[in-house]
Amino acid sequence: MYISPRNELSEFRRRYRWMRLFVFLTFLVFVGRLVYLQLINGDDYHQKSINNVIRTVSLPAVRGRIFDSKGRVMATSMPSHTLVAIPHYVDMGEGFARLVELLGLDEQQSRQMADKLNDYQKDLRDMRRFQQISLLENLAPEQLAAVKAHQDELAGIDVVDEPRRFYPYGEVASHVIGYMNEVNGDDIALARENENIIDKYRPGDLIGRKGIERSFEPELRGIRGWKKKVVDARGLSLSREKTKNLLPDASMQEPSPGYDITLTIDVALQKLTRQALSGHPSAAAVVMNINDGSVLAAVSRPSVDSNRMTRGLSYAENDEINENPYRPRIDKTLYENYFPGSVFKPFTAFAALEEGIVTPEDVFNCSGFHEFGGRIFKCTHSHGDMTLYDALVQSCNVYFYNLAEMTGMDRIARYAGEFGFGQKTGVGYNTEAAGHIPTREWYDKNFPGEFRIGHTLNASIGQGNTKVTLMQVAAAYSAMANGGTLYQPQVIQSIETPDGEVVKAFQPIIKRRVSVGKHNMDLVMEALVGVVEDEKGTANSAYNENVSIAGKTGTAQVVKQSRKKGDTMAEFYYQNRDHAWFASVAPVENPEIAIVVLVEHGGAGGEHAAPVGVEIARRYFDEIAPRHEAPLLADSPSDSKSNVRIPVEDSAPTTASAHRH
């Protein structure tokens, strides 16, 4: 056996045991750590690793469409693609250059995009770098194709489908339809507390803001779905095959689309109503089916295109709209209270007739004014001897002052109340004003000791403290024309599934039958025919022999204003001009529709509002509901030919009508 010079090694020999012990203990620590990580906390880390790679992607629910009564699309969702990024994973060198090349961006666009990404990337500790941000909205088809085809080269970049709301008719019915914008903190908090809302709102979601979009948000919205997909750390999707064992069984929930809504509005009528009002900067009109209360047109001018509102306004645009003196944001058919003026007179007449205070034959003399309690109550001019018929046709105030004196405020209020005045109509969209019908009690409560009969006189002609909305007037005139049934105005015909199955059909809602006798209503209706057709009628200047219409003009006084600094004379005159009303039903025989027109600061109702109402009626009979039988009043054969005309003015897409109706 060879003996090596081990003495030289003696210095080292005693160390090996300690080295072995040290190495062994160190490795024991590692095995201990593995036990801790893999065996003790393994489940926890396993879950974390799955969460790491599984990303839940929302699948947007397709919002319900809104159709008009003829099936024309008024609101729909268009497919749209947004380029998004998780900044952390975006390579700002080659990757970004490739992206710019694929999108075909110019230098300025690419610089803007780079700045945006850099903003998120510059600070390593900024958690926002892991948030999905949108880089480019509304991708063009070729951009979409380019990005999709080269997805694997674009780490951190993705395309998401974000349907955009589109309103083919723009501002035609924008107050009724409303618009959408992004949810705010309050919306999210409210929805969170509401058990009925299953699909809670998240930041970035859109919500209906006005009109039908807002009122029927729950029905239109649908419920979003989700899909779990396996991604790598750069957010790129991986094939299912490689990752099958990572995905849970339920990896997808289809979204359920929202319900479609069919309105009672007829866009063609809505359009022509707008056109009839086009000469007036600030005006409104309602056309209603008198036999069921459905709203066929509701126009408020001016208005803002729903597409523009949904897209979002710049500060400048927003200021411009807010400062517009004609108040484009206001729905003047519902939100605004107006003095009804003489449009109210039929209801004063009903009170007096029903209470037996006057007969149609009773005569009052109008000398141009009425003196009561030391005060002068004016008429437009001296009308002479007036019966009820004359007083309505010529809109004589003095006649109604006498009526009011005898009838009293509370009785007038009771009959007005029966016709729906002083209460919200419940049409169900937008903020609605209730209007106001004064009573003794109201005066005693709010102005103790100040009540005078003079207040009654003012109330009888629709002034003083009497306030109404256009929708109320339309409903009341409908009731008057249909024999006394007050319907609740409705704007929705039905709610359907996307396949067209009716979920809910809206039946006419009768609020009440008014207690006014048919003969009294016929009396008033007869006078309303005279308003238009009688030579002395206040609306006779608007008379068109081919148009069968009966109505009442009104001139609502506005609070006189002194000339403000900076106002031109034209503006000054405009502000002090009275509001012009025309409330009507058509045709005279077997009436179908009520047409209510209000022209703000239009002046006299007969001259400025009545022609609008007559024009709406004329075109309604021409274009919307052509008379197939001989016209009731006119017998011109050339006219009956033109009645066959089919509306051709609709340039907007009506594809939905093809398969729906």
Partner 1 sequence: MAGSLVYNRRDEFDWVLVSVVFLISTIGILNLYSTGVASGAPELYLTQLYWVVLGGIGAFVVAIIDYKHYERYGYFAYGGGILMLVLVLLFGKEVGGSVRWFAIGEFRFQPSELMKVLLVVGLAKYLHHDPKAEGRKLEDLFVPALMTGLAMVLILKEPDLGTALLCLLVFLSIMMLTRLTFRSTMALIVSTPIVAIIGWSYLLKDYQKARVISFWNLFVDPEADKLGAGWHANQSIIAIGSGQLTGKGYLDGTAGPHHFLPECRTDFPFSVFAEEHGFLGAAGLVFLYLFLIMWCIRIAAQSRDRFGSVIAVGIGSIIFWHVVINLGMVMGVMPVVGITLPLFSYGGSSILTFMFGFGLLLNVSIHRYRRNYGA
Span 151-180, contacts to partner 1 by CB under 8 A: none
Q: How far is 607 from 597, CA to CA, in rounded Å?
A: 12
By beta-carbon proximity to partner 1, the closer residue of 52 and 324 is 52
Minimum gap (Å) between residue 238 Cβ and partner 1: 7
By beta-carbon proximity to partner 1, the closer residue of 44 and 385 is 44
Span 219-238, contacts to partner 1 by CB under 8 A: 230-234, 238
By beta-carbon proximity to partner 1, the closer residue of 19 and 140 is 19
Q: Is 241 in the site for partner 1 (CB under 8 A)?
A: no
Binding mask 47-66 for partner 1 (x = CB under 8 A): -xxx-xx-------------
Q: How far is 373 from 375, CA to CA, in rounded Å?
A: 5
By beta-carbon proximity to partner 1, the closer residue of 230 and 529 is 230
Q: How far is 117 from 299, CA to CA, in rounded Å?
A: 46
By beta-carbon proximity to partner 1, the closer residue of 22 and 573 is 22
Minimum gap (Å) between residue 90 Cβ and partner 1: 14
| Count of C-beta atoms within a 10 Å radius of residue 145 | 12
Q: How far is 157 from 134, CA to CA, in rounded Å?
A: 10
Q: Which stretch binds partner 1 (CB under 8 A): 46-54, 269-277, 471-479, 620-628?
A: 46-54
* SS3 call for 479: helix
Q: Is 2 in the site for partner 1 (CB under 8 A)?
A: yes
| Count of C-beta atoms within a 10 Å radius of residue 589 | 10
Distance in angstroms between the alpha carbons of the first and the last residue of the chain: 110
Q: Which stretch binds partner 1 (CB under 8 A): 1-9, 220-228, 349-357, 439-447?
A: 1-9
Q: How far is 637 from 660, CA to CA, in rounded Å?
A: 35
Minimum gap (Å) between residue 13 Cβ and partner 1: 7
By beta-carbon proximity to partner 1, the closer residue of 234 and 627 is 234
By beta-carbon proximity to partner 1, the closer residue of 45 and 573 is 45
- Using CA atoms, how far residue 104 sits from 84, 92, 96, 108, 566, in Å, is 16, 17, 12, 12, 50
* SS3 call for 285: strand
Binding mask 244-263 for partner 1 (x = CB under 8 A): -xx-----------------
Q: Is 149 in the site for partner 1 (CB under 8 A)?
A: no
By beta-carbon proximity to partner 1, the closer residue of 238 and 503 is 238
Q: Total residues at the site for partner 1 (CB under 8 A)?
A: 52
Minimum gap (Å) between residue 209 Cβ and partner 1: 36
> Is 92 within 8 Å of 117 (Cβ atoms)?
yes
CA angle, residues 474, 480, 481, in degrees to nearest 5: 90
Q: How far is 409 from 412, CA to CA, in rounded Å?
A: 5
Q: Are strands 260-263 and 66-67 parallel, antiparallel or unpaired?
A: parallel
Minimum gap (Å) between residue 118 Cβ and partner 1: 18
- Using CA atoms, how far residue 215 sits from 138, 211, 337, 472, 513, in Å, is 28, 6, 21, 20, 28
By beta-carbon proximity to partner 1, the closer residue of 132 and 497 is 132
Q: Is 45 in the site for partner 1 (CB under 8 A)?
A: yes
By beta-carbon proximity to partner 1, the closer residue of 41 and 642 is 41
Q: How far is 512 from 265, CA to CA, in rounded Å?
A: 24
Q: Which stretch binds partner 1 (CB under 8 A): 168-176, 239-247, 557-565, 640-648?
A: 239-247
Span 125-144, contacts to partner 1 by CB under 8 A: 125, 127, 129-130
Q: Which stretch binds partner 1 (CB under 8 A): 30-38, 273-281, 326-334, 496-504?
A: 30-38
Q: How far is 178 from 7, CA to CA, in rounded Å?
A: 100
Q: What are phi and psi of 296, to 5 degrees?
A: -95, -30
Q: In 14-55, which ranges are continuous DSSP H helix?
A: 15-34, 42-53
Three-state SS sequence of 172-196: CCHHHHCCEEECCHHHHHHHHHCCC
Q: Which of 24, 193, 450, 629 binds partner 1 (CB under 8 A)?
A: 24
Q: Is 25 in the site for partner 1 (CB under 8 A)?
A: no
Minimum gap (Å) between residue 42 Cβ and partner 1: 4
CA dihedral 456, 462, 465, 468 (to 10 degrees): 140
Q: Which of 100, 141, 614, 531 is nearest to 343 (CA)?
A: 531
Task: Please name every residue paired with 231 in a beta bridge, in sequence order, or none if there are none.
Answer: 237
Q: Which two tokens stand for residue 323?
A: 């400062």
Minimum gap (Å) between residue 133 Cβ and partner 1: 16
Q: Is 510 in the site for partner 1 (CB under 8 A)?
A: no
Q: Which two tokens stand for residue 639?
A: 């006219």
Q: Which stretch binds partner 1 (CB under 8 A): 26-34, 255-263, 391-399, 460-468?
A: 26-34
Q: Is 359 in the site for partner 1 (CB under 8 A)?
A: no
Q: Which of 78, 108, 115, 124 binds partner 1 (CB under 8 A)?
A: 124
Minimum gap (Å) between residue 84 Cβ and partner 1: 19
> Is 212 within 8 Å of 177 (Cβ atoms)?
yes
By beta-carbon proximity to partner 1, the closer residue of 89 and 487 is 89
Q: Which stretch binds partner 1 (CB under 8 A): 18-26, 262-270, 294-302, 374-382?
A: 18-26
Q: Is 43 in the site for partner 1 (CB under 8 A)?
A: yes
Q: Is 39 in the site for partner 1 (CB under 8 A)?
A: yes
Q: What are phi and psi of 151, to 5 degrees?
A: -50, -40
CA atoms within 13 A on the CB side of 83: 26
Residue ranges in contact with partner 1 by CB under 8 A: 2, 4-5, 8-13, 15-16, 18-20, 23-24, 26-27, 29-31, 33-35, 37-39, 41-46, 48-50, 52-53, 124-125, 127, 129-130, 230-234, 238, 242, 245-246
